[in-house]
Amino acid sequence: MSTAEFEEVAMMESDLLAPRAIAVSELRAENVSVWFGKRKVLENVNIDFPKNTVTALIGPSGCGKSTFIRTLNRLHELIPGAALAGSVLYEGKDIYSSDIDPVHIRLQIGMVFQKPNPFPSMTIRGNVLSGLKLSGMKRDNHDDIVEQTLTAAGLWNEVKDRLNHAAGDLSGGQQQRLVIARALAVQPSVLLMDEPCSALDPASTLKIEETIRQLSKEVTIVIVTHNMQQAVRVADNTAFFLAQEGEPGHIVEQGLTTDIFGQPQDQRTLDYVNGRFG
């Protein structure tokens, strides 16, 4: 067999072996560069988020991970001075094309923030349903939605008797799970999470990681995290972001979590996952 034929067979075999290549890409960023005013903060980000997987975005703080995920649900443009280039494809279509309603995108691609932010003036039940009210979605099975989303978020048993209590009375971890339920109530197919556990205690963190693993069977999840052990625990794939001084950030290396942590190719990745910086 010639070298070329050998390589071709090797590629086909590796294609068959790599589960990632078979999974359908749901969300994909192609050559995304991001600016705030004149300052370029992200450069040529290319990444795939296959359906029903969990992808972790890791890297030292300030390298643009949070900014990047905000381009995925069109929250970035709400910041004054924001600009970008490239395209974000959701189910094959560029979400930035002029005939797409950003509200529609945000319903399909939900977001959970770092600091739990339930609406303090609403009850627990009110919070879960608030996404429906805010976006104008009409559903008539409110009780089912409340129970299903709170169960999926792992909070149902703890609050089922006090759905009409104020949301502010819950602990931090509970509030964050409430926020997850709220995000799920509008039935997104992608859930973006920006350091969802960094403001929480370890016990709540583990509960939420458990929730994430369960959720990923139905929902594609992208999670930004500073906690590398967390990435190992929950993520199928990982992308390592880095920004040198004064330079825009970019993805240094991405792939299966086991590969990124086990056999990274780039020295910087190796240093970061071994805690030598960041």
Partner 1 sequence: MSTILYQPPADPALLSQPPQRPWRHKPRSFTTAVALAVIVPAVITAALFFLSPIPGAIVLVVVYFPLQLLASGIAAWATRGVRGIADSVIIVNAIGATVFSFVVLASLIGSLIVRGLRALSAHFVYQNSVYISPSTPLDYGGIGHALIGTILVVAVATAVAVPIGIATAIYITEVRGRAVPYVRFFVQAMSGVPSVVAGLFILTIAVSTGWFSQNAFAGGLAYAILMLPTVARTAEEVLKLIPDELRTGALALGSTRARTVMRVVLPAAKTGIITAILLGIARVIGETAPLLLAAGNNDGTVLNPFGQAIASIPVYIFNNVAVPYPDAVARAWGAALVLMILIAVLFTVARFLGRGRVGRAK
Partner 2 sequence: MAGVRTCGPLASISLGQHPVMANPDLDQRDLHSAATSHRGDRVFSRVVTGAAFASLVVLAGIAIFLGIQAVYAFQTEGLAFIFSTGWDINTDPPTAGIWGMLYGSVLLAVIGLAIAVPVALMLSIFMVFISPPKLATVLTNLIDLLAAIPSVIIGLWAFYILNPPAEEWQALLNQYLGWIPIFENTSQNFSGTPFIAGLVLAIMMIPIITSISREVLSRTPPELVNAAEALGCSLWTMLRFVALPYGRGGIVGGVMLGLGRALGETIAVFFVLKLTFETNWYHIIESGGGSIATLIVSRFGEVSGPEELNLLLAAGFFLFLGTIAVNMVANLIVSRTGRLKK
Residue-by-residue DSSP string for 180-210: HHHHHHT--SEEEEESTTTTS-HHHHHHHHH
Residue 186 binds partner 2 (CB under 8 A) = yes
Contact 221, 214 (CB under 8 A): no
Minimum gap (Å) between residue 6 Cβ and partner 1 = 17
Q: Provide the 10 A C-beta neighbour count for residue 219.
A: 21
Give residues 122-151 in contact with partner 2 (rule: CB under 8 A): 122, 130-131, 133-136
Minimum gap (Å) between residue 240 Cβ and partner 1 = 9
Residue 162 is encoded by which pair of tokens? 């006090």
For residue 194, the cross-strand partners are 224
Residue 199 binds partner 1 (CB under 8 A) = no
Residue 95 binds partner 2 (CB under 8 A) = no
Nearest Cα to Cα of residue 117 among 198, 70, 175, 66: 175
Give residues 39-78 in contact with partner 2 (rule: CB under 8 A): 73, 75, 78
**Exposed (0-12), middle (13-18) or buried (19+): which is 122, by Cβ within 10 Å?**
middle
Residue 255 binds partner 1 (CB under 8 A) = yes
Binding mask 36-75 for partner 1 (x = CB under 8 A): ----x---x-----------------------------x-
Enumerate binding residues for partner 2 (CB under 8 A).
73, 75, 78, 80, 103-104, 106-107, 110-111, 113, 115, 117-122, 130-131, 133-136, 179, 182-183, 186
